[in-house]
Structure 1
Amino acid sequence: MDRYEGFHEFVHARQQSLMRTAYLLTGDPHLAEDLLQTVFTRVASHWAKLAKGGNPEAYARKALVNQTISWRRRKRAELPGAELPEPATPGQPHDEATVRRLALRDALAKLTPKQRAVIVLRFYEDRSERETARLMGVSIGTVKSQTSYALAKLRGLTPEEVYR
């Protein structure tokens, strides 16, 4: 009798489900693949015992969790797949720009409507204080104070990188 009898069938039947779990644990598809391969190696080494009376899927799921915890305890540089290649094009990568834009959008959503209007008119549309006051139907002093309050709130809500 082959000591790995049934292992191939187990992998074929449970691979997708276990891969989803690995992805949810790591948040990275490549790291999830590495994690699952590591766990399948462990399952294979205990396959004879698991096939007789154990629960191979429960063992695999617990191994996924334990291995993830073990990897996170290590230094980040030691994690498989932790080193990312440098962007091919000079300048800011698109994903970083997108993250900054989304952070700013979320921060703007937390401003009062008047503060948001002042920020959009003054900085996005590049309008003067006088034009902004006219468009909003308020005094120039209100524009100045609302701009000050809004910028202070934005600085408190978002990382410094958003403003670079």
Structure 2
Amino acid sequence: MARLPSLLRFAVVLTGDRDLAQDIVQEVLARVQARWRRISETEDLEAHVRRMVLNEYLSWRRFWAVRRLRDVQGSVPDGLWERLAGLGRKQRAVLVLRYYEQLDDGQIADWLGSSRPAVRGLASKSLKTLRLEPELVERIPAEEKS
């Protein structure tokens, strides 16, 4: 997959852990390969695979004894990783989808199988928990779309 580095960066931002992100991407790509005939007919293949990564992250069953978040090549403002570690998976996913992937609330709701008000509520609660102004979160550089 030509977009593997992009997919891996997305998973790293979601998980905050490069090794876990690699595990999730590997698991998803194995499922993509097994279901290629059906998946290859998808209108937006990349978005479909990213949604699969998101779902795998949200349903990840492993227990982390110690969650250490690593900086993604210095691209995240100081202290943000540590603050993100305190959020639940869905809360972190909403922020990543909103500020990193730059999706609107409707798209996020679709990806999460939720409603727009629920997405807005999760985002608001997450930002309040982080005690961050939206301007700080918006400094997270969005991946350049090709």
Q: What TM-score, normalized to structure 1?
A: 0.37
Instruction: Choose between structure 1 and 2: higher helix proportion.
Output: 1
Q: What TM-score, normalized to structure 2?
A: 0.41
- Greater RCO, 1 or 2 (C-alpha within 8 Å, sep 6+): 2
